[in-house]
Amino acid sequence: MRKFNIGLCIVIIFAALLSQAQQVHLPLSKDSLRFAIIGDNGTGDKPEYDVAQKLAAAYAKWPFEFVVMMGDNLYGGESPKDFQNKFEKPYQALLSSGVKFYATLGNHDDPARQVPYKLFNMGGKHYYTFKPKEGVRFFSLDSNYMDKTQLDWFEKELKASGSEWKIVFFHHPVYSSGMRHGSNIELRSVLEPLLLKHGVDVVLSGHEHFYERIKPQKNIHYFIVGSSGQLRRGNIGKSELTEKGFDADNVFMLAVIEGDAMSFQVISRAGTTVDSGMIRRGGKTTSATQ
């Protein structure tokens, strides 16, 4: 009995430590833009719900304005019930707090059902742009179907943006150390010239079911956040590209933009910070704190 009590105490202390571990240590200043990133989340399974719960807990301590979704928002069926079980229910706490979600399309998503869906905020388009704050603009692309119409639109919007921060997100990563998929060179060949020409700062993707921060490529910072529901353990291969990788658990990412700096923190399903750091616009520095 005594042994059991000691064991129980250890479990309680461990649980308390784990919950402590989820401290968000990002700045919370008044004029900053705070947002979260999830990807490949829409399984409707326990890991998705666990990550969603951790995300809501992070929001309670560190309120953010919106969440960007890296695609594969709904796996399998896309019936009205699937919208509930794979999106509305897991993120209910955030949705009811007024947090907006901005989706991009993955290869498992049905555009006809997701594009008009109000809670995905795509404005009826496969690709779109939004400006959550003066000086910051996001661009969501449909990497499943990168045709000339979309490329022309993207270039026009980049040119017209004038924003200091340009953050682009789409499903398929153009740089990746994934052993399953790896870098999408096809996509890179058409997108990278535009990203460079128009001074894009950050590119966010999913598809690979892990987290990876790529070493800045030609001054652009690339992140893969594709394990907020799915997980492909041990899938990050040895590569010169990796600045930081994590494929042992599901994760979400938090980010804050203040002036020329974007700080970020990546938190696992267990509540552990697996990566964090700060990047400077223009690709000058990346200083990870862990």
Partner 1 sequence: MFAVSSCVLVALLAGTAPQRGEPATKDPAIEEFNKQVKKYMDLHNKVEHSVPPIDKKRESDPARIVNHQKALSAAIGAARPEAARGDIFRPDVQPVFLKIIKKQLSSGKGPTARAMILGDGNPKSPESPAKVDLSVNAEYPAKAPLSTVPPSVLLSLPRLPDGLEYRFVGRHLILYDASANLIVDVLPNAIR
Asked whether position 247 contacts partner 1 by CB under 8 A, the answer is no
Binding of partner 1 at residue 93 (CB under 8 A)? no
Give the H or E element holding residue 14.
helix 2-21
193 makes contact with partner 1 (CB under 8 A): no
**Of 26 and 224, which has the nearer Cβ to partner 1?**
224
Non-local (6+) Cβ contacts of 69 within 8 A are: 38, 39, 41, 101, 102, 103, 104, 120
Residue 76 in the binding site for partner 1 (CB under 8 A) = yes
Residue 96 touches partner 1, criterion: CB under 8 A: no
What is the C-alpha end-to-end distance of the chain, expressed in Å?
A: 41
Helix (H) or strand (E) holding 188: helix 185-197
Binding residues for partner 1 restricted to 145-174, rule: CB under 8 A: 145-149, 151, 172
Give the β-pairing of 273-280 and 211-217: unpaired
Span from 44-52, 60-68, 72-80, 194-202 in contact with partner 1 (CB under 8 A): 72-80
- Tokens of residue 94, six digits: 């955030």
Q: Establish if 97 lies at the interface with partner 1 (CB under 8 A).
A: no
CB neighbours of residue 231 within 10 Å: 21
80 is a contact residue toward partner 1 (CB under 8 A): yes
Distance, in Å, from the CA atom of 229 to the CA atom of 86, rounded to the nearest integer, reads: 10
Considering beta carbons, is residue 3 or 124 the nearer one to partner 1?
Answer: 124
Residues that bind partner 1 (CB under 8 A): 76-80, 83-84, 107-108, 110-113, 115-119, 123-124, 143-149, 151, 172, 180-181, 184-187, 189-190
